[in-house]
Amino acid sequence: MDAPSAPHATTIVALTFDGGVVMAGDRRATMGPTIASREIEKVFPADEFSAVGIAGTAGLAVELVRLFQLELEHYEKIEGTLLSLDGKANRLATMIRSNLGLAMQGLAVVPLFCGFDLDRHRGRIFSYDITGGRYEEHEHHSVGSGSVFARGSLKKLWRPGLDVAGGVRVAVEALVDAADDDSATGGPDESRRIWPVVATVTEAGYVRVPDDDLARVVGDVTTARRAEHDRSRLARGGEQR
């Protein structure tokens, strides 16, 4: 299969907050210049205390996540305990490395992994390269086609001591900023009621944020940005719409 004909998942963000970590992904998949899907899900629970988000070749990435979930479940059943967060991150790195041959042909899988470390009692984030290199990220990170724009937003909006609600809002704003400048990233679609997939991981485990809550967050972000835009127009002497 020619690489451009395979659907590609795009932007994933993750950031820490006081008591855990939040991960969010947009819903758009692209094939070259074409929108292949507006409703693909890119954020998944790896197990009870971790999450994985996918960027890159969508089909391979989803299959990688399924195998990763299965391996973690198998380990827990055999050993009777959870694998440590570092152990999970290392195992995912090995799985990515095994895909190197396809990655060199343009079918790369670049996930973002995060979780709540039960030993250190805090959220942690791990990024990867196509060779399986594993890197711990501090405070926040993003991968995918819109990541350069999302990272700029995260640098501006993230602050120490965020609560869970603040973390969710920052994640949504970062995706909105990415969608503003990256055609392969889909912003929240209020007309179709398609929202990003957003999940939190805390000492209580993985929780997906309900769509109704996301609709309210998106509404608040839209209202705030519209007001800011109107103020900017007035300052330039333009007419307020």
Task: State the total domains in the chain.
Answer: 1
Residue of higher predicted confidence among 58 and 19: 19
What pTM does this model have? 0.91
pLDDT of residue 237 exceeding 80: no
- Would 235 be classed as within a structural domain? no
Residue 142 lies in a domain: yes
The confidence score (pLDDT) of residue 2 equals: 44
| Domain-located, residue 236 | no
**Is 16 among the catalytic positions?**
no
Q: What is the pLDDT of residues 8-47, one digit of tens each?
A: 768 999 999 999 999 999 999 998 889 999 999 999 999 9
Instruction: Specify if 113 maps to a domain.
Output: yes
pLDDT in tens, 122-158: 999 999 999 999 999 999 999 999 999 999 999 999 9
Catalytic-role residue among 10, 11, 16, 185: 10
The pLDDT confidence band at residue 238, using thresholds 50, 70 and 90, is: low
What is the CATH classification number for the domain harbouring 115? 3.60.20.10
Torsion angle of the four alpha carbons 193, 27, 148, 171, in this order, in degrees rounded to the nearest 10: 50
For residue 238, tell me if it sits in a domain: no
pLDDT tens sequence across 79-131: 999 999 999 999 999 999 998 888 788 788 899 999 999 999 999 999 999 99
Contacts of 204 (CB under 8 A, 6+ apart): none
Average pLDDT, the chain: 93
- C-alpha 123/C-alpha 103 separation (Å) is 29
Above pLDDT 70, what percent of the chain? 96
Tokens for 129, please give them. 């390269």
Give the range of the structural domain holding residue 152, as residue numbers without chain letter: 3-211
Cβ atoms of 172 and 140 within 8 Å: the answer is no
Asked whether 172 and 225 are in contact (CB, 8 A), the reply is no
On the question of pLDDT at 76 being above 70, the answer is yes
With 80 as the cut, is the pLDDT of residue 240 above it?
A: no
